Chain A
Amino acid sequence: MAQLAVENFRKSFGPVNVIRGVSLEAESGEFVVFVGPSGCGKSTLLRLIAGLETVDSGTVSIGGRDVTKADPARRGIAMVFQTYALYPHMNVADNMGFGLEMAGIAKDERTRLVREAADLLHLTDYLDRKPRQLSGGQRQRVAIGRAIVRKPDIFLFDEPLSNLDAELRVKMRLEIARLHKELGATMVYVTHDQVEAMTLADKIVVLRSGVVEQIGSPMELYSNPDNSFVAGFIGSPRMNFVQATVTGQRDDQLLLDVPEFALSGLPVRPRAMPSSRPASLMLGIRPEHLAEGIAGSHRVSLRCNAVERLGAVTYLHTAPGEDSTVTAQLAGSSSARTGDVVEVNLASERCFLFDQDGARV
Chain B
Amino acid sequence: MKRSAAINALMVACGAFFVTLVGLPFWWVVSGSVKVPQEIIARTPTMFPHSFTLQHYTKLFDGSAYPDYLLNSLIVAVSSTVLTLVLAIPAAFAFFRLDFPGRSALYRTILLAYAFPSIVVLIPLFGLFAKIGLVDRLPALVIVNAAFALPFSIWMLRSFFAGVPKEIEEAAVMDGASTMTILRRIMIPLVAPGIASVGIYAFVSAWTEYVFTSVLILSDAKRTLPVGFSGIIGQYQIDWGLLLAGATVAIVPVVAIFALIGRGFVSGLTEGAVK
Contact = CB atoms under 8 A, between A and B. Distances in A.
Interface residues of B, number: 23
A99 B175 contact: yes
Contacts of B274: 81, 83-86
A205 interface: no
A87 B171 contact: yes
B250 interface: no
A81 B269 contact: no
Contacts of B99: none
A98 interface: yes
B62 interface: no
Contacts of A89: 189-190, 269
B200 interface: no
Contacts of B46: none
A87 B273 contact: yes
A98 B169 CA distance: 13
B272 A102 contact: no
B131 interface: no
Contacts of B189: 89
Contact of B273 (A73, A98, A99, A131): A131
A66 B88 CA distance: 40
A301 interface: no
A88 interface: yes
B176 A79 contact: no
A83 B168 CA distance: 9
A327 B272 CA distance: 42
Contacts of A50: 174
B171 A88 contact: no
B275 A83 contact: yes
Contacts of A136: 275
B165 interface: yes
B82 interface: no
Interface in A126-152: 130-134, 136, 139, 146, 150
Contact of B171 (A71, A79, A132, A134): A79
Contacts of A52: 170, 173-174
A163 B273 CA distance: 13
Contacts of B168: 85-88
A77 interface: yes
B176 A99 contact: yes
B272 A79 contact: no
Contacts of A133: 272
B87 to A, nearest CB: 24
Which interface residue of A82, A102, A130, A131 has the most chain B CB atoms within 10 A?
A: A102
Interface residues of A, number: 32
A103 B190 CA distance: 23
B176 A81 contact: no
A86 B174 contact: no
Given A87-B273, A88-B272, A132-B272, A72 B174 contact: yes
A86 B273 contact: yes
A239 interface: no
Nearest to A78: B174
A84 B173 contact: no
B78 interface: no
Interface in A84-107: 84-89, 98-99, 102-103
B186 interface: yes
A71 B273 CA distance: 24
Most buried by A among B168, B174, B181, B189: B174
A133 B271 CA distance: 9
Contacts of B177: 73, 98, 102
Nearest to A142: B272
A172 to B, nearest CB: 15
Nearest to A156: B174
Interface in A321-359: none
B271 A102 contact: no
Contacts of A98: 172, 175, 177, 185
Interface in B250-275: 269-275
8 contacts: A52-B173, A72-B174, A73-B175, A87-B168, A87-B172, A88-B270, A103-B176, A132-B273
Given A52-B174, A83-B275, 6 more contacts: A82-B167, A85-B165, A88-B272, A102-B181, A131-B273, A150-B175
